[in-house]
Every structure is written in structure tokens, then in C-alpha cells.
Structure 1
Amino acid sequence: MKGLFVLGMYLALPLPGVSCAWAEHDVLDVTAGRGNFIEVPAGGASAAGCEHECMPTVEYVCGSGNTSGTECETSNPFKRENPPAGKCKTESSIEDYGGLVENGDSAGKRALARIAFFIEEALTESATEDGVGLGEHAMGMAMEHFEGLLRNPLPINYASAGELETLLVLSGFQIESILNYRERSGKILSAAELGLIHGFDENAVEVILPFITFGERGGIGTLVPEFSSVKEFLEVCDSRLYVKSMRNLHPDPMFAPITQDEFLKSPDSRYLGTPYYMQIKFRTGFGDKVETGFTLENDIGERLFPKGGPPVDFFSFHVSLGNMGKVKRVIAGDYNARFGQGLILWNSFSLNSIGTPSALCKKGSAFLPFTSTAESGFFRGAAASLSFGKLDLNAMFSCSRLDARIEGNCYTSIVDDGKHNTITSAEYRKSMRETVGGLNLSYMFRNLKIGVSSVVYGYDKSNGRSIKEYNRYQMYDGLWGNTSFDYYAVWGNVRLFGEMAIDFGGSGAFLAGAHFPIGGRVECGIMARAYSKSYIAPHASAYSTLSTVSNQRGAVVNVRYTPFKWLALTYFGEYVHYPWVRYNIDGPSSMVKNSLKGVVDMERCNGYVSLTHAYYSHNALNKFQIKSKFSYKLSENAGGTLHAAVVNAGKTGYEFGTDWRVKLFREVLAISSGACYFDCMDWKGRLYIYEKDLPYTYSNRLLYGRGMSLYLLVECRICRSMDLYVKNGTRCYFSDNSGSQSELKLAMKVSF
């Protein structure tokens, strides 16, 4: 049995004394961070063998302790360089979610690193106007999806249009090109041949190569052989076990001793459980036929094995069966659902927040197993996808419990932070039930796909929320639901997509867009939307600059020009009008945003410069921002990155810094370090940077105030199956009396 066992131990100690060619094919600009290629023979022996998340339209409260066509040369088609330090992030980032990747599969690791880089960038750029953006859990789900493809590459010669969409990094034009090529010329036999298809070049093939195979649809993905024992079955399964433990050793007043009388007076002044964080993940599968897994998690301060309760605070499980004739997928347990363009139902990750033209269109399979540690934002029940030729049927049912504040038989707010470590937060745990049913029908014509979807849902408690001006039109009680019609059409070189939806109250929402080339080096994406102020869809996640799909009318233009193979220029423009009041904004308002970005990708140096201007009418605020990041590879084992940003939103804030990475002793030892100075005294001008951290940890640092951020990370391979990580991070503040903070983190990873 193949597996992975990871143990992370985290310590936080206060230190004494320290108070591209034509971009028609590019959905992701992943070619900016090239991976270290292996030579791909003509036979094709390859890897075979963002958007804004929308919150439900109810009030949320945080719990205690918590604050989202260049042709290829067939003789040597893919001569690839090593990934520049800091551009593809780090090998630990690859291994974070790529523990299931074999140590020798460096091409797959690099592919995950390139994708992780752009998802991480989306994390820092995707905050909505009301402060909600992509979360770390969304990144985790996205990376797990690509890892699944890495373990079970898609047979490109047999994949349908829907299966090709699961790659996510293919545009509609590329998918159509593959299907048309197969129909005219037969099977694609190698990576070199794939590079000759219209819409593909070396960089585009490089992106998807680890996730596809040119072989037959045979093997474990097609036929399940008979086994004489469970042990024999498990030996051929792809299994992963991940165990993580964490503890902060610095003094925490929430764990300080307290008398019984003091606790009775202030019951929420102390945590109820242990100071340890615990997480166990297990997944096993047999190709694309069978997958099952579970997740256990206990947050810091939550009780472990409480009397009369479950042994851990959070438990998630799933069983998934697929590719069984007309049954495309059946899932029992916890799962995510995705219908249309997200106007009525979409609670999974999406890459359309990264800002590339073709990424404006959402795509992907209807149902996915839920494997995140997020304790909200998923369905619990059963879902099935059936295929009858050109007709697809997707049906789902869910009955899950939510955390909510309850008064009598009414809920006053929904709590989604997943923390149950105090008396009050423990009372919120699973205090309300939600039932959801959904149905989607889609029919595929030659150049047109249409779909009809409907979702019905309701709580077992009445709505007791306080009515404010900003949420007056976002109230519903009892059963509620939505119905929509969506389409995807191909008209020459133009791809058209859209969705129209209506809720049970008669309010509507509309979204339409197009993606098309202009000449040979320009790619354009446009999209318009209109969401009524009274449109209610708590499970929707269509393109939006708010945390809800409501109260806005807007348009987006995204143009990418590639004058040279090593240079890509992108323009992003958006106008949005909010016809009704919003939280802390007393009247109609609007926002205009324009952004220019240049990406350079050369052999030893790559990076980008972006300029962004946004105007907000409600306070007549002009916000300017310049960001840059450049990486340089000194050698195969050493490189560095320089980054800087300046923002002005009434007051000027800025940051500049550097990161370096060195590998020693044949990569047995790796040392990474970074330093950043920041001066952001205005909250409106705050900045975010990504900082390299331990495995399974994504540090999206908020820079606010004046100070310096320093870190040193040492990675040591003790043996083939064991790695040790040590990180020291220090944050020094000069702007107030908060002084400095320093922490020490340790992690160990064992694979077997």
C-alpha cells in the first residue's frame, strides 16, 4: 500500500528581550513560473506512468478567538528550465498538498507548484468590497483536486468535453480543439503532437502534461478486478494518511488557572479543552472508480473525548463511485456541488478570481467529495450524476447541521468559524438543521450546451434576524429556492456563456459573457451581470464583488496581449454599481477599477509589475497600488526574489523585501530566509504578502502599522522518508507600544 503519514508539531515561543505566445489557450498565467522539465519522448511517456466566494445571505458572527499556437519541435519539444526561486513558491508548497505525489515525480510537483502560485496570488487579491475573499480552505480544495488528477491522469484520447473541463486549466477553445482534432486525425500520441494542435504551444502543454495520459483507457480506471482479500485490494489502492498536531507554547490567558467562582462569573474567559490542535485525514481510492475517506479535527481549546459527546469536534466522511456506465458519479457523505455559472448553487472552489480572460467562465463537474477541514460550506447527504448520451442528470439531497445563535425557536445569526472552545460557542454547535435538494438537467448539442437547474432549501428554525436597511431585502423564512437556465455556446472562435436565475420571491439575477481571440496574439474576455437587491441565493457563488450574489450591476473587460513569448501584458477593467445601501454605506454607490499587469518570463529571471487604480463613490476615495515581484536564479540550487508594493488610499503605505533560498548537500538541506519592511498606517491602505512557511501552512501576512517581518526556515531531509522543518519568524513594530513578536515552529514529515 502506498501512503503518506505526516506529523506536524508547531511551537510558538516568545523570545526573551524582544517586546507568452497567443494567450487564447491560457486560463492560468501559469507559464510565468516554468517547471524543471524532463525530456518527453515522441511516444508521449509523460505523467501517465480564486473568484470570489460568496457567503450565505445571513449575518455571520465570529466566535471567541477568531477575527476569505506556436508549433513545437518534435525532435525536442520541451526543453524546460528549473523553477526560479520564489516564483513557483517552494518545494514544500508542492509537498504540502502533494504528499500523495511520489518523491521521484518532480514534474508533477512542479506542476502543482505553478498552480499553487497563482492560487496563492488570488488569495491576496480576491478580497471583496465587504471584506470577503478566497480562503485558505478554498486553496486546499483546489490543490487536492489537482493532486487527484496527478494520481489518476486523464486519458486525453477518451475524455469527453465534461471530463476535459475537470482539468480547469483548459479554456473552452482548447477543449474544442482537442475534440475536433481527435475526430479528424484520431488519437493524440505524444506531447509533441498535442503541441501542434491549434490553441496549444510548449507552455500550454507543460501546464497540463502531468495531469493527462496518451495511453489507452485501460488499467485501474476502467476495470475493477476480483480480489481474494481486503489486504490484496488495499495493496493496489492509492492511500494517504495525514496526521497533524499543533500547540502554541507561549502563554495564553485562555488556558490560565481560574477558580470555580471566577469561571461561573465569566464562563467564556477560558477555553474548555486542550491546548493541542489535532487533525487526521485518510483517503484511499482505486483509480477513478472508487474513493473513500474521512477527516477528523479538533481545534485548539476544544474538548477531546467529552463525556456524552463525539470524540472529536469535527468529523467528515465520503464514499465516491464513478465511471460505471451511465453513472458518472455517486457520492454519499460530504460533498460540494456546482451548477451552471454559480447563480443558484456553487459551494466549491473556482479559479475565475485570478483575472485571466478565459477564467471568467466557471466550469467543472457537478459534484466533488468534500475533503477540507472547513466546518461549513459543504453538503451532507447523497449526490448522483447520470449520463444518457447527450443528456446529463445531476441530483442531490442534503441534511446537515449548522452552528447558529438560537433564541426560542428562531435563529438570530449563523456562526461559521467552526470554533467550539468556550461555553457559548459550544452551545452554537450544530444547533440548527438545513435541508437542501437540487436538480440539474443539461443537454449537449454540437456547438451548444444548455442546462436547467433548481434548488430548494430551508432551516428547521424560524428567521429571527434583526432587520437593518442593508439586509432588509435579504430576508426569507421557511422554504426558499431558485431556478436557473444556463448555456455555453461555440460560435466560430467565440465562446459564449451565461446564466439567468430567479428566486421564489420573483427576484432575478443575470450573468453573460464571452471569450474570444483578436488577431493572433490577443485574447479578450468580457462579462456583464445584474443581480437584484432582493435576489436571495445563500448557496450561490457567481462572480461578485460582494459576499452575496445580490445588489449589483456591473461589467468586466479582460484583455491579454502577448507580443513576445517571454512577455504578456494584461488589462483588467471593471465597473459596478450598487443600487441599494450596504453595510456601513447609507446609499447607492459604485466602484470603477482598472489594472495593468506585465509578466516577464525569461530563462533565469521572471516576474511581474502591476498598476491598479480603484475609485469608490461612497467616500470619493481613489486608491492607487503598484506591486512588483522579480525572481532570479543564480544557479540550480540558489535563487532569490525581490518584491515591493506601494498603495495610496488617502495615505501612502508601502512594503519592500527579499526572499532567498539555498539548497545544500544534494538537496539534503535547504535554507530559506526573508525580510520585509512595511509602513502601512492607514487600514484602507493595508497590504498582504505571502510568506514561506511550514508544510500544510499558508502564511498570507497582513501588513498594517510600521515595522519589519523576518523569517528563517531550515528544511532537512533526515532520510528518504523523513523531513524536519524549523522556522523562526519575528515581527517588529515601530509604530506603537506593541513591541515585537517572535515564534519558533517545528514540523516533521514521515512518508511510507
Structure 2
Amino acid sequence: MKACIINISCVFMALISWGQQPDMQQVAKLEDVIEAIVADNEDANVEQLLDDLQAFREAPLNINQCQRADLERLYFLSPVQIDHLLTYRQQYGPILTPFELAQVDGFTRQLIGWLQLFVVFGSAEASKRFFPTRQEILLRAIRQIELQKGYKEPRKYQGSPEKLYLRYRFSSSTVRAGLTAEKDAGESFFSGANPEGFDYYSAFAIIGLKDDQHQLFLGDYLARFGQGLVAWQGFSLAKSAEVNQVARFGQGLRTYSSTDENNYLRGLGAAFHWGNFGWSPFVSYKKFDANREQRAEETVFTSFQSSGLHRTANEIEDKNSVSALTIGTNLTYTFQRFSLGVTGVYNRYGLALDRREADYNRFLFEGRQLTTVGANYQWGVSRYYFYGEAAWSGSKGFAFIQGVEGQLADELELSLLYRSIGKKYNAPLGSGFTENSRLNDEQGLYLGATVEPLANVSVKLYADLFSHQWIKYTTVAPAKGAEYLLQVNYQLNDEWEIYGRYFYEEKPVKSKGADFQFNLEQQREKWRVHLSGAIADRYLLRSRLEWINYQHEEQSKGWLVFQDFGWRSKANNCSAWFRVAYFYTDDYDSRIYTYENDLLYQFAVPAFYGKGMRFYLNGKVKICEKIDFWMKLARSWFIGVDTIGTGYSQLDANSRTEVKFQLRFKF
């Protein structure tokens, strides 16, 4: 039976000419993965996602050796798809070629193409998850050519306009370690507020004990448990074109290597495993950016500063101005397709949090210490996957998430998620599936579906209904909203694909009137058509047209069109991407987000508004086996304006130019 399946799958794959792809096409596929997951989420920590996926590209999983936890870290695989893959492997033995994946339930051509980027095939001994010893040094410099107002006299920015980045990574069979250093544009370097050099340093080490059965975390790390109600830091899944990717896999403690200067833990953690039980204790003490104020005889902080920028005197004053002590633990029991976990986190600030008086702050946490406790579960039954978490916080708030995902038929996969986050619920480390970025005061129901009515056609759609019992910063009364997405993909042939997308959102937003404010329905519609394909293996083309209609107190419209050209050399040691784009929108309300190709470990989804053009040229050269070089030149022209930006970021010009350089050494 096994041989028969392989023979059939090989014939099928031969018909669609699915072979090993050059590096540039693999990179293009990787970008498709990331854009599909991130969508227009400008707040997503994409850097951490890129780091995770690139690690798998350079040290791929052996598809016949990896466990469920390994596959869960790929983000684009749903729980049901992972179950189908592991069941197939158990029933039919090792998966010898990528062609065979076509026989796994729920594995489409697109999904298999993505998975090929991160896995290898063959026996368990054919590849190892980590090489005996591997080191990497990465250097990056970014500069905006035109000077912003903050660099001119009277000068407000202390440092130079360059953004500098240094990264070192070491890995062996038992130890992984890393160092990250960054200076943002405008921050001082070996002077002023930073006599030691960079403005930001981060380091980590993870030590494997007893053949990696237990792990010790030192330095900077992340905590990710359950569905994120108690503890989830770094990148998290949200609503996107990958409509069934809403369930979260508790990844436990993870090393931290991003440049987000606030959302991580610093200290000591461990992950112990005894049979079906796992225990992860952790402790952290670190300082973070905040606004401090003197209240009567006490100094308090009124808000968190998350930009990570320390250019001006005020920004420098807020840097590391408050400390946080965090103590937490997680205990998990796992048996086959079932797991049950309990997580507890205690958080204590060095100063009391005393938010500024405002109605929207009424139920948000204030004080110095807060405890949060939650219980979560996962349970796979046949072709269904159930998951959920319930949590309580010391601010007398409750939160609950319950979801189910099912493969109702070979051509139909559904996801259903309900969340109820109390208005008194607060979790300093939490980040759950919500409409708002803050984990507080939200009830919602999400339904996502993927349908494959024909062999070359897939339809993805979701609907999300949500409400808030109390006012938000953007509202003056309790509100309800809805969001919908429909995307149709069509595989024209082996090389070309086209998709169309429609997005609609409506939610109340307060009016802009100064005398009397009220909630007014805000509506946003977006249409997109995207075409991509390859010509003779060495050339790639991507074309997009997008249109937006925004309605609040006034109507605002806009559109954008771009054309990408990709090229690689015959030897596959050089590659380049070129884009030319034109955008025309009425104002910022009708802004359009679009993905841009960038340097390794970089990802850009800028917002375009006004009228203008943009182009960029992004290239990579493999100097030798151990040295790679990247460069990007980008320029934007804005029509009918004399200045760009506001405040200290203002440019006295109608164009903006940016250059980026990056070198990587591997040894």
C-alpha cells in the first residue's frame, strides 16, 4: 500500500512539474508565508517571526523525526493539518519525498510548497536539527539621506541619522547563545547617553541537559503559554488571510533575539520534562521605559513607552525609568493528543502605576503588583481539535477563550473561536486573540473557513463579530463591530497564480467634534487583485492593484498599483528585486499597507497615503560560501507637498530616500 501511494503521488507531482526551486523562488515563497500570516498588522513583531522561520530554513526539521511541538512552531500549519501529517506518518511510515505530502489530508499545493522550505526528507539520521557548532555574525546599517528637523539647529536628536545593528549567534548540540545590539536613528553612539556604545543590548543562552530533555534559559527570553491570556510575548497570530490559523500552541519558554526593547523577560528560566509532565519556572528582573510623574509625596509612572526610541532629552529621561519583577510557573500534562496546563504569573513594579484620569482608563490595572492565574487545554478528537483557556487576575477580572477547528470534509476546514475578556481583567504579560491590542474588555465570535471547490481553486473567508462593554480611547460609549474577509486563489498553471481579496470592517469611532462627541460608524472597504509567477526560472514577476474606501465623518478613497521584477544569476549567487509603485489616496484615513521585499531578518509593511510614487532595488550577493551581502535603495516622491512628516521627523522636501547595507558571516 505504501509503495502504491508513493507511485501515485510521484506520477501526480511529475504532471505538475514540482521540482527543487532556486533560492530566489524559495525566498519569494517565504515572503508569501509571512505576508499571509501578518496581513496588515503593523503592530506585529515580525522580526521574531522572521527569526524563527529563518532558523528552520538553515537547520530544517526532519519530517520523519520532528514532533508535534516542532511543527507547531511553523505558524502556518493548523492543528488539524499537524494531526493529519503525524497520523499519515504513523500509518504509512517515513515520508521519503515531498511528492508524498500530496496524499496527506488537507495538504494543498501551496501548503506543501511552504512546508518544503523548512523540512528535509529521508531517515532520521540523514539530518540533525543542530550542527555540531555554528556561528553567525550579522552587521547592518540604515540611513535616511534627507535630514529630519530633529538633526538641524537647534538640534533635538542627540545622535547621528544612522541606524546600526549587530548580531552574533552561536549554536552547538547542547548550547545556543546570542548577542544583539542596536542603535536607532537619532540615538547617540559611544557618546552622550550611550558612552558604552549601542543604545540597546540583549543577550541569551540556552543550555540543554540530559540530551536536551531539560533546558536552562539565561538572559533574555519569552514566555508563551496556553492561548495567551496569562503569558504570551513576541509574535502572536491574529486575523489574517490564513483564516484557520487562530489557535495558539503554547511554546513555553523561548529565547529572545528581537529589537523590541520592552516586551520580554530578563533573568533565569528552566523547562523540565519527566515523562508526560513538564514544568517551566521562571524569574525576571528588568527595567523598562515609562512616563514618570511626581504625585504629592510619591513618584509614580502613568504609562508605558513602547517605541524604544531614545533620541531626545524627554525620551532619554523615560528610558529604563521603572523596574519590574516577574515570577511565574507553568505545569503541563500531555498524553497523546491531549494536554492540560496551569500557568501563574506574579508581577511587581518598582513604582506604582497611576494612570492619568480618563474614562477609558477606569478599569485598567493601577498599583504595584498583580497576580494572574489561568488553566488551558488542547484535545484532538478524530478530525477535530478543541482548545481553550480560562484565567483570573488580581484586579478581580476573568477571561475565557474557547475554540474548535475541524476538517469537515477533504475540501472544507472550519475554525470557530469565542472569547470573553472581562473589563476588569488585566494581564501584564498577556496577549490573546482580540480585536484590540489590549487584552481587556472584549467579547467576540470568530468563524473562519477554507474551501477547495476545484483542484486549482481555494476560497478563504472569515467573519469576526466583537463588542466592548466599556469605552475605549477611540470611543465615547460601549460599542459593537464586525470584520469580514473573502479571498479566492486560482492556480493558473505550474508557475502563475492569481488571487482576489475583499475586506470589510465596521466599528464605532468617536466623532472629531470638540464640543460634543458621539460614536459614529466607521466603515472601511478594501479590494485587491494580485498576480505572481515565474519566467524561465530566473525571473519572477508580481503585480498588484488595491483600492480602498473609508467612511466616517467624511468619505476618503485611494488606490495603489505596483509591479515587482525579480532576477537571479545562473550560478544562483546573485539576486535582485525591483519595485515601482504609484499611490493616490485622499488622506491618511485611506492609507494602504503593502508588503516590501527587504534584507534578511527585515520585513516592511509601510502605509502609503497622499499622492506619489515609490521604487526600491533590493539585492543580495553571495561573496563566498561563508559571506553574504545585501543592499537596498528605496525612494518615495510625494506630489503636491513641500514637507513630509511632522514635528522633529519633518523633512523639508517632497521626497524621502533610504539606503540599507547588511553583511553576514557564517563559520
Give the TM-score normalised by the residue count of structure 1: 0.77
Give SS of 2:606's match.
strand
- The offset of 1:686, in angstroms, is 1.9
Of 494, 503, 517 in structure 2, the residue corresponding to residue 612 of structure 1 is: 503
The residue aligned with 1:659 is 563
Of 372, 385, 403 in structure 1, the residue corresponding to residue 271 of structure 2 is: 385
- The offset of 1:458, in angstroms, is 1.3
Say whether 1:514 aligns with 2:404.
yes
**Contact 1:112 / 1:143 at 8 angstroms: preserved in 2?**
no
Distance 2:218 2:316 in 1: 27
Distance 2:604 2:338 in 1: 43
- The offset of 1:498, in angstroms, is 0.8
Distance 1:366 1:583 in 2: 33
The residue aligned with 1:647 is 548
**Contact 2:399 / 2:420 at 8 angstroms: preserved in 1?**
yes
Distance 2:64 2:540 in 1: 39
Distance 1:639 1:160 in 2: 35
Rate the CA distance shift 1:669–1:345 in 2: closer, same or farther, 3 A.
Answer: closer
Q: How many residues align?
A: 635
Give the partner amino acid of 2:35.
E
Say whether 1:120 aligns with 2:57.
no
- The offset of 1:82, in angstroms, is 8.9
More strand per residue: 1 or 2? 2
The residue aligned with 2:539 is 638
Q: How does 1:673-692 map to 2 (within 5 A)?
A: 673-692=578-597
The residue aligned with 1:731 is 637
Of 427, 431, 441 in structure 2, the residue corresponding to residue 537 of structure 1 is: 427
Residue deviations 1:216-240 (CA, integer Å, cap 9, x gap): 55589599xxxxxxxxxxx951111
The residue aligned with 2:648 is none
Give SS of 2:33's match.
helix
Give the partner amino acid of 2:309.
K
The residue aligned with 1:335 is 221
Rate the CA distance shift 1:535–1:81 in 2: closer, same or farther, 3 A.
Answer: farther
Structure of greater relative contact order (alpha carbons < 8 Å, 6+ residues apart)? 1
Give the partner amino acid of 1:250.
E
Give SS of 2:595's match.
strand
Q: How does 1:41-80 map to 2 (within 5 A)?
A: 73-74=9-10, 77=13
**Contact 1:393 / 1:439 at 8 angstroms: preserved in 2?**
yes
Rate the CA distance shift 1:724–1:583 in 2: closer, same or farther, 3 A.
Answer: closer
The residue aligned with 2:384 is 494
The residue aligned with 1:554 is 444
Of 417, 422, 427 in structure 2, the residue corresponding to residue 527 of structure 1 is: 417
The residue aligned with 1:246 is 142
Distance 1:423 1:331 in 2: 35
Distance 2:343 2:662 in 1: 47
Say whether 1:700 aligns with 2:600.
no
**Contact 1:357 / 1:526 at 8 angstroms: preserved in 2?**
no
The residue aligned with 2:160 is 274
Q: Which moved more, 1:277-286 or 1:667-676?
A: 667-676
Rate the CA distance shift 1:500–1:696 in 2: closer, same or farther, 3 A.
Answer: closer
Q: CA RMSD in A?
A: 3.2
The residue aligned with 2:64 is 157
Of 251, 255, 272 in structure 1, the residue corresponding to residue 151 of structure 2 is: 255
- The offset of 1:204, in angstroms, is 3.8
Q: Which moved more, 1:660-669 or 1:702-711?
A: 660-669
Distance 2:643 2:317 in 1: 37
Say whether 1:625 aligns with 2:526.
yes
Distance 1:506 1:426 in 2: 35
Residue deviations 1:154-177 (CA, integer Å, cap 9, x gap): 344343332332333332223333
- The offset of 1:459, in angstroms, is 0.2
Rate the CA distance shift 1:608–1:484 in 2: closer, same or farther, 3 A.
Answer: same
- The offset of 1:501, in angstroms, is 0.7
Give SS of 1:700's match.
coil
Q: How does 1:549-588 map to 2 (within 5 A)?
A: 549-588=439-478
Distance 2:30 2:250 in 1: 16
Q: Which moved more, 1:555-564 or 1:607-616?
A: 607-616
Say whether 1:741 aligns with 2:631.
no
Distance 1:295 1:670 in 2: 27
Rate the CA distance shift 1:334–1:662 in 2: closer, same or farther, 3 A.
Answer: closer
Give SS of 1:550's match.
coil
- The offset of 1:145, in angstroms, is 0.9
Rate the CA distance shift 1:145–1:324 in 2: closer, same or farther, 3 A.
Answer: farther
The residue aligned with 2:355 is 465
Distance 1:382 1:112 in 2: 36
Distance 1:425 1:749 in 2: 30
Give the partner amino acid of 2:206.
S
- The offset of 1:506, in angstroms, is 2.3
Distance 1:671 1:687 in 2: 25
Of 482, 487, 499 in structure 2, the residue corresponding to residue 592 of structure 1 is: 482
Give the partner amino acid of 1:610.
R
Rate the CA distance shift 1:608–1:178 in 2: closer, same or farther, 3 A.
Answer: closer
Say whether 1:354 aligns with 2:240.
yes
Q: How does 1:127-138 map to 2 (within 5 A)?
A: 133-134=43-44, 138=45
Residue deviations 1:439-494 (CA, integer Å, cap 9, x gap): 11111234421111111101010123212110110023122021111111122211
**Contact 1:70 / 1:200 at 8 angstroms: preserved in 2?**
no
Q: Which moved more, 1:640-649 or 1:554-563?
A: 640-649
Q: How does 1:288-299 map to 2 (within 5 A)?
A: 289-299=174-184
- The offset of 1:111, in angstroms, is 4.6
Distance 2:360 2:23 in 1: 47
Distance 2:475 2:564 in 1: 44
Distance 2:136 2:574 in 1: 26
Distance 1:510 1:401 in 2: 30
Distance 2:609 2:15 in 1: 43
Give the partner amino acid of 1:578.
H
- The offset of 1:499, in angstroms, is 0.7
- The offset of 1:432, in angstroms, is 1.0
Give SS of 1:586's match.
coil
**Contact 1:554 / 1:575 at 8 angstroms: preserved in 2?**
yes
Q: Give unmatched runs, 5+ long, in structure 1.
A: 1-41, 44-68, 84-104, 128-132, 224-234, 259-268
- The offset of 1:116, in angstroms, is 2.8
Identity of aligned residues (%): 21
Distance 1:635 1:189 in 2: 28
Give the partner amino acid of 2:48.
M
Residue deviations 1:517-554 (CA, integer Å, cap 9, x gap): 22221111111111111111121111011111111111
Say whether 1:304 aligns with 2:189.
yes
Give the partner amino acid of 2:113.
E
Rate the CA distance shift 1:337–1:182 in 2: closer, same or farther, 3 A.
Answer: same
Give the partner amino acid of 2:142.
M
Residue deviations 1:87-125 (CA, integer Å, cap 9, x gap): xxxxxxxxxxxxxxxxxx966775554233232355452
Give the partner amino acid of 2:184.
D
**Contact 2:220 / 2:264 at 8 angstroms: preserved in 1?**
yes
